[in-house]
A and B are shown apart, each in its own frame.
Chain A
Amino acid sequence: QLQLQESGPGLVKPSGTLSLTCAVSGDSISSSDWWTWVRQPPGKGLEWIGEISHSGSTNYNPSLRSRVTMSVDKSKNQFSLRLTSVTAADTAVYYCARMHPLDLKPSYYFDSWGQGTLVTVSS
């Protein structure tokens, strides 16, 4: 059974860099084409941050593109998120998830999620 687990610092200082890793277990990261990061500020809705393919191609939310970098490490079966110049508005629960393609249609849904990790931006 596929499992995803986010990890990283729970507290980041303003103007600093948020770095998270999503460890994939139960299957190879290469078995799925795309992996994604989603965040949820306290009491608010879900926001798509971006996606990364197992080969390293990326696609980012334009509202975050200037600050986001995603990477993949096949040897460790994990992928990562880096968000620079953080502010209090970046305080959120961050989720990683697997993107599952539809058959014959250009669409993906998120079928497996990590439990999420709360990152607070504060001095």
Chain B
Amino acid sequence: SYVLTQPPSVSVAPGQTARITCGGNNIGTKSVHWYQQKPGQAPVLVVYDDSDRPSGIPERVSGSNSGNTATLTISRVEAGDEADYYCQVWDSSTDHQVFGGGTKLTVL
């Protein structure tokens, strides 16, 4: 089965740029979606199809995907960005959805 690997945690100071990676075999050939989850809340879609943003998501949130790594980038990080972030893809070989293990973003 397809495996997505995320770092357990990323820390960044306010105003700096946070980069959260999602590794997978040839993930650049897949469409990657990202979710933000704050404590006690349901996940919220922040990026879909590698780099598109749903309405209401600020431009400082962006995504990229190439080779074996997809990246969620949050510029000018704010305290309100502190959350868990998950990547998700559809595995065509099994026709199943797959989530990464999640990354806890801490704003110092």
Contact = CB atoms under 8 A, between A and B. Distances in A.
B97 A51 contact: yes
Interface string B27-63: 0001101010100011111001100001000000000
Given A46-B102, A107-B49, A108-B90, A116 B42 contact: yes
Contacts of A38: 43, 99
A111 B86 contact: no
B49 A48 contact: no
Contacts, number: 66
Contacts of B42: 95, 113-116
Instruction: Give the interface size bracket for B toward A.
Output: 20 to 34
Instruction: Tell me what chain A mostly uses at the interface: helix, strand, loop, or mixed.
Output: strand
B89 interface: yes
B72 to A, nearest CB: 14
A114 B100 CA distance: 20
A110 B88 contact: yes
17 contacts: A36-B97, A38-B99, A45-B84, A45-B99, A45-B102, A46-B43, A46-B86, A46-B88, A48-B96, A48-B98, A51-B97, A62-B96, A109-B48, A109-B49, A110-B43, A115-B41, A115-B42
Interface of A: 36, 38, 45-48, 51, 59, 61-62, 95, 100, 102, 105-111, 113-116
Given A108-B90, A115-B42, 19 more contacts: A45-B101, A46-B35, A46-B37, A47-B99, A51-B97, A61-B96, A62-B94, A102-B31, A105-B49, A107-B31, A107-B33, A107-B89, A107-B90, A109-B45, A109-B49, A109-B88, A110-B35, A110-B45, A111-B45
A-B pairs, top 5 by smallest CB distance, nearest first, are A109-B33, A107-B31, A113-B42, A45-B102, A48-B97
Interface of B: 1, 30-31, 33, 35, 37, 41-45, 48-49, 54, 84, 86, 88-90, 92, 94-102
